[in-house]
């Protein structure tokens, strides 16, 4: 995709606050910043979704929740119930974590089955599938991306930001080459500057997840 302005970049940023020590005031600040800069969404842990949905209500900025976060190591049934709850509480977008150990043990078949179940639970909410690319081989990234695509995912996402490495240009480019053009690619984890965000977009990212959305916008506008 082509990004020609800071406003265009802002429109694809998921302003993300997933710290375990995030306070209600912190979450409310992120919502205010997202409204100020017209970000795509505010992405939070499930407990904060009702607050975010209320703060963003009536605006184009979406409420986004993570599910099975950050390890992905819970059952499909537990993740499905989590999806149902966050959607009922106002989440318009859901970022789920796959079962990484399952993928490595038996392949991508169960990943696709889980994605399909969670996509059905989403209703009209978008579903983004987090692969945790730092823990996967290229072949595993391709297999999981294809399984997610076939199961109805709206986006394939690189990372949680909670392992040793987040998004890389190489992983973003690999996912972009693998999935259909109508499937989004979200780069997330460790994106801390405007230049890094633009590099991810150049590699094929159509959504950027970062806790530094406001800093990126200030850098784009003021150079700092």
pLDDT for 220: 85
Quick check: pTM over 0.85? yes
Can you tell me the distance from the alpha carbon of 27 to that of 9, in angstroms, rounded to the nearest whole number?
22
Q: Within a domain: residue 1?
A: no
Can you tell me the distance from the alpha carbon of 93 to that of 76, in angstroms, rounded to the nearest whole number?
18
Can you tell me the distance from the alpha carbon of 64 to that of 67, in angstroms, rounded to the nearest whole number?
10
| The total number of structural domains that make up the chain | 1
10-residue mean pLDDT series, the chain (224 residues):
74 97 98 98 98 98 98 98 98 98 98 98 98 98 98 98 95 98 98 94 97 94 72
Q: Within a domain: residue 210?
A: yes
Q: What range defines the domain where residue 112 resides?
A: 6-222
State the catalytic residues. Answer: 95, 157, 186
């Amino acid at each position: 995709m082509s990004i020609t302005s800071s406003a265009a970049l802002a429109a694809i940023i998921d302003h993300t606050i997933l710290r375990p020590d995030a306070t209600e005031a912190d979450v409310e600040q992120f919502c205010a910043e997202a409204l100020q800069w017209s970000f795509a969404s505010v992405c939070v842990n499930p407990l904060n979704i009702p607050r975010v949905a209320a703060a963003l209500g009536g605006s184009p900025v979406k409420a986004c929740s993570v599910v099975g976060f950050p390890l992905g190591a819970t059952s499909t049934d537990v993740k499905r119930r989590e999806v149902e709850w966050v959607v009922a509480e106002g989440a318009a977008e859901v970022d789920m974590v796959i079962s990484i150990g399952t993928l490595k043990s038996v392949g991508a078949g169960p990943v696709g089955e889980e994605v399909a179940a969670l996509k059905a639970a989403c209703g009209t909410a978008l579903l983004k599938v987090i692969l945790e690319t730092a823990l996967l081989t290229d072949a595993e990234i391709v297999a999981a991306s294809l399984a997610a695509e076939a199961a109805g995912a709206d986006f394939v996402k690189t990372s949680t930001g909670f392992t040793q490495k987040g998004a890389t240009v190489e992983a973003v480019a690999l996912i972009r080459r693998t999935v259909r053009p109508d499937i989004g690619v979200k780069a997330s984890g460790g994106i801390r500057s405007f230049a890094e965000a633009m590099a991810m977009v150049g590699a094929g990212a159509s959504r950027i997840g970062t806790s530094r959305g406001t800093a990126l916008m200030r850098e784009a506008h003021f150079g700092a």
